[in-house]
Structure 1
Amino acid sequence: MESKADEFHQGWAHMHKGINKLQRILEGQLEPPFTTGQYMMLYTTIYNMCTRKPTHNCSQQLYDKYRETLEEYIMSTVLPSLREKRDEFLLREFIRRWGNHKVMVRWLSRFFNYLDRFFVVWRSLPALNEVGRTCFCDLVYREMHANVKDVVVGLIDKEREGGMLQDTGAYYSRKASSWIEEDDCPEYMLKCEECLKRERDRVSHYLYSSSEVKLIEKVQHELLVTYADRLLEKEHSGCRALFRDDKVEDLSRMYRLYCKLPRGLDPVAEIFKQHVTAEGTTLAQQAEVAASNGSSVQAQDLMRKLIELHDRYMAYVTDCFQNHYLLHKALKVAFEVLCNKTVAGSSSVELFATFCDNILKKGGSEKLSDDAIEETLEKEEARRLLFDRSANSDHERSILSKLKQQCGGQFTSKMEGMVTDLTLARENQASFEDYLKNNSAAHPGIDLSVTVLTMGFWPSYKSSDFILPAEMVKCIEAFKAFYKTKTKHRKLTWLYSLGTCHVNGRFDRKTIELVVSTYQAAVLLLFNTSDQLSYLEIMAQLNLTHEDLVRLLHSLSCAKYKILNKQPNTKTISQSDHFEFNSKFTDKMRRIKIPLPPVDERKKVVEDVGKERRFAIDAAIVRIMKSRKVLDHQQLVSECVEQLSLMFKPDVKAIKKQIDSLIIRDYLEREKENPNTFRYLA
């Protein structure tokens, strides 16, 4: 009978042949790859050696041999090849050897897989992959890392400027001192942006990502902080000149550069405030001069120009400065200064009242179309009436009566209809309450107030296929039954988005009245019958869109009032979340209103525009390919950009994406011999 040592040496001799074959492949020698049979034979050898009886089990010896094999290969082959290299050749060899080492560890781990899965786990030993990494770190990295680091730093210096500059701060300090004298503000900012991009690229190529923050901060300090005042105050090209000359792209770049710096936008906001104030003051002075010359239209002209001024600079705040609060505040402060000025003895408030009077007076609204004035007034009237913000319906009628005398009955007909609707709604509600008293069986068990509106009088509101909880369905059915007793010829369309609910939340500490929207109330009512619900279960039960449900759940579980507990406890809503009623919730108030987060209308517009642009890109690509039949990638993109530039500035990435989409849809195909050439199919 063979001894354990004989069995191990026999098995290891077979493994040694396979490992030598792997090393020859890694060294680039002419060696055929492993066949499936060879791989399985090596795996089986390890398996057999690890599954023998305890007296003949070779697991510990194999584990030790695994490390010895790696260490022997490193000492005999890897380190000698690195020690003889210098400069960038050392860096290239280091990268190659690390790549080869990872391949070797991966293959050996496959051969020794059974050992890794059972013996290593049972003995709580470091995994084979970890042993492989440790070998390289202990034997190669510790010896070579100083040399490799010197090579990397030398290459960076060499790339910057022939090895002349060794310190990043000194390098950019010298550059900035030269550029600030030679370049105007837009040119200087372009160079800064390019330098920051190059430094980030260097980090990704050469350095650890952890070094990026300090490196970028140093560059930003030397280029942007040190010379901030001189740059922003340049006489003919600084911040004021960019606002004056409508340099949108340069202002956007200024924001991108300075918003990342601590208090970096403070001087920009101060200059912005001063500039807007100066322009508004100039307008006021011009109106003052006009008034002194006997002109009678200075109020209307001044107010219109101030409104245009505000709109113009609000566009800068929105588009160039991404709605940053500092720029909003600067614009607000500037107009507070302007509103406190007087022109020809009249305050800005008086001038604005005169301006509004002139718009609404018969014959005084030539600058605004009737439709524009009517639409604005109708929306404001609807918002105030519908959400019960009107102080007195008689006052509303009095104002409408005056408007009707000035503008005619057609102008105020819809607004009069709104007021009438609300008067009838109050009478209707009283009748509904009497109906429920006389028909106690029909009472839904919930107090319900319904406002019936005439569709033609009110702005259009979005309806949905929202599925109401059972409690709310009872309310709807009760009102429908009542309404049929009033009329059989009108159809009710329910607008849940306009509804408000008062829900009693019975928490452990006390009961709190929650003022919520209909949708929020529907979500909360689901927890009367379920201890826990998933996102997908709530969506299915209420038939809400993803966007609407995210807003609802965020308001109830992630905002100020956490009525629901969410798992996981994060600030964002995802489809894998689960929710449960927060019985521990409490608040010092007996009644709280839980608002919904605002809808991001801008995001929706951007998405819609993006969709329309994709259609336009598809059409342009098809037109070009239909006429040319065969075209290379670069020429197709170039012609597509040229065609679309009349409508919008197309993104090259978007064009490439639509090319791939058209290939999938069998409009185009790539040529087999030249994948960068396309052929028209459809």
Structure 2
Amino acid sequence: MSQSKGKFVIKPPKPRNHMDERAALVIWDLLSTAIGEIHNKNASSLSFEELYRNAYNLVLHKHGDLLYAGVRESVQAHLDEVGEIIATATDDRLLHDLSQQWGDHQVTMQMVRDILMYMDRTYVSFNKKMPVYEMGLVVFRDTVARHDKVKGRLQSLLLQNIADERASRLIDRDLMKTSLSMLSGLGVDGVAVYEEDFENEFLATTRAFYRAESQEFIARNTCPAYMKKAEDRLGEEAARSINYLAAGTEPKLKHIVETELIRNHAKVLVEMENSGCTSMFRDDKIEDLRRMYDLFSRVPVTLDDLRRSMCEYVKATGKALVTDQESAKDPVAFVQGLLSLRGKYDSIVNDAFRGEKRSQKRLKEAFEDFINTDSRCASYLATYIDDLLKSGLRGMAEDQAEAMLEKVIVIFRYLQDKDVFENFYKTHLSKRLLGGRSVSDEMEKNMIVKLKNECGYQFTSKLEGMFTDMKISKDVMEEYRKTGRHTNHGMELVVEMLTTGYWPAQSGPKCRLPKQVLRCCEDFEEFYLKKHTGRKVTWHTSQGNADLKSTFGKNRHDLNVSTQQMCILLLFNSADTLSYADIQEATQIGDPELKRHLISLCTPKFRILRKASKVKGKGISGPGDTFSFNADFTSKLKRVRIPLVSIKDSASGPAASASLPPAVEEDRRHLTEAAVVRIMKARKSLRHNDLVAEVTRQLSSRFVPSPTVIKSRIESLIDREYLERDRNDRRAYNYLA
């Protein structure tokens, strides 16, 4: 490269020309005039690009203070004039004019902000000034909205409009929305204009309004009318919040209205005479109950009053049903009443109370309370299921029968005395199985499955064993028939083999069997014991029945009778007339049962025997009464079943049936002792109260033992040296291995 060429040199930039004060004022005059034109709505003739450049140059040449102060003065001067105009407006024009000026001011300040955008980004930010738009809002707030002659009138007009709307008069909602939006928008610089100038007073007047209105309305109207009014008012306030109130007001307003309309009157509404909850429950007013639940759900604490009312009413209704002497006489009608009551309130909880879990729990508590006041409920439920499985389910579709059994199980869940139920259910089941009276085996087994699901395998093990015995008996009889010996001695013998531990204790009356029947029994016993050595066969004649081919003159009938009736009737093959004493000597049947069976054979409808007695009517006076075979008996039926009359005895009344069966009491003693030993064996040492609590917990699935019963069983175990009292603490026990 030639040395003659010069070197490349970077020269510093030329110094920028500084804008002096006079030039700055000239530019500001141009901007001030433009802002005035904007205020006068003549912005269309302005060049915003030129205005922006002028403002930019002022800030760039360090004249930001001049520009910022000048803009504030211009806005202030304009709004001073606006403030005076608004202050002189009449009340019917105030909201309209203020809203219009507010809209104009927003548009003006947006244009000014666009011109001064550079100042906002640099000068305002660096000097920690308020942005131009927010500054314009503050000036509007202090000069116009809070003008001495505007602020109070504005608040009064807003509140009056709301009062008019609550009185069902039409108002301009758009004007309300604009006015309240203005107050919300003026909340800059940490000042809560909306809250201070409107919301606080609005909430206070709202509270006073609804407090007065609710007290006056509830004093003059029914509970359903009040709830409808409250529902309408809540809807109105919700719409008001949506239409023109600020979003932050909605939860505050909702709380006040719900407190004044619902919470403060919940208890009065529930207990209101002739129209409160009691009336609604009694008259099945589901819609009113649903409305009450929905209203109370807004204030959850008030739902306790509604649930309590339902619980108390169900308890009272249930106790009336339990103590009703008429329903107590008929177990089926009693349980049907329970099911009807349960269905009604289950519907109320599901439909009116929206299936709420806590309401379902209170309903369960109510039923448990009155059902367990009387142990008859357990026996009556077993009787009702017996009726269903004998005839009640006949003709029903499978799903209908399933639904019916499920309803029964719901009542069963409420029982604490499940062992009492088991005792009666087992007795009824044995009669159904032995008498062949069940609707179907499937339904029987379905019921057993449901009970097992509720209480476990141990609860149903004996019941399932009864079904097993019936199947085994069927197989044994098949084998016996194959031998051909079942028709020996001129009769056919059918035997059911029952395992002693599964079936109810067979304590029925014994009787002496006729010789030909006795030979059949001995023949079968010989056959059975050859196949099953080491077993013992006991005959329970009270559980059997027989079919007798009988001739009455020219008429022939097959009589279905009990084993005792068979023994009595067979005596008349050798004599036409027998005395009471002769029959008793021949059959060895005790007095009460013999009289019962003889009366059954002498009833007008089934007069197989004729009675000659000193006692008129059905009664039997004693050994001197005689009985003759009625050869004139006739019936339209070929096969005639002779039912046994029931024994009317004071001991069979409701009061007696309320006590526990002896077998249940005995089982409870054993179960309580077993639980005590099981717990003490695991714990080795335990205090009395803790032991009682644990025993109660373990046995609660079958029954709830009283502390007194538990204490007596503990004393018995101490006497038998299973336990001992702790030497240092007499309230504690030790387990003896």
Query: RCO greater where, 1 or 2, for CA within 8 Å and sep 6 or more?
Result: 2
Give the structure-2-normalised TM-score: 0.43
* TM-score using structure 1 length: 0.46
Bigger Rg, structure 1 or 2: 2
